[in-house]
Amino acid sequence: MSAERTRLNYTELQNPLFVHPSDRSNSLGIEEKLTGVENYRSWRRNLEIALSTKRKLGFVHGTIAKPVDDPIKQEQWETCNNLVISWLINVVSDSISKSILYIQSASEIWEHLERRFNISNGSRKYKLNKHLCAMKQNNSPVSEYYTKMQGYGKSWML
């Protein structure tokens, strides 16, 4: 095979379904793990920047749809979706990762985390969520207890 045929062109590199050989589950480069409401906004911004540089932001925003008419592109989409899921699992705390492990798409995980942790400062909802996060259930923060229950529910459904 000639060098011309093995060289990727610019268009292929721009394709969000392209996976670079260096893309691994731990290759995102995010140091800060999501731990809860208190660091969600900065964590989300860091993650959006990192995913954008890899042309995978559309997987969490739900703008890169799974192809329906091409089995090869479907497989590429599944590979990319699972890569983004692995990145998400690796940049959240252990307890949060257990609650998202069985969610099937990166965009569903993103929506789940958004609903759970994106609370505007100053709002009544934020104050309530902050109060709830301080509560304990069996000597564990409620957020950890919730995560544990989510994990049990998902694993039993399999």
pLDDT value at residue 110: 97
pLDDT value at residue 56: 95
pTM, entire model: 0.73
Per the structure block, which two tokens stand in for 8? 């990727």
One digit per residue, the tens of pLDDT, for the chain of length 158 reads: 444 556 667 777 778 888 888 888 888 888 899 999 889 999 999 999 999 999 999 999 999 999 999 999 999 999 999 999 999 999 999 999 999 999 999 999 999 999 989 876 555 455 555 555 555 566 666 666 666 666 666 555 55
Task: Map out the domains of the chain as residue ranges.
Answer: 3-157
DSSP for 29-85, written as a single string: ---PPB-SGGGHHHHHHHHHHHHHHTT-HHHHHT-SPPPSS-HHHHHHHHHHHHHHH
pLDDT value at residue 6: 60
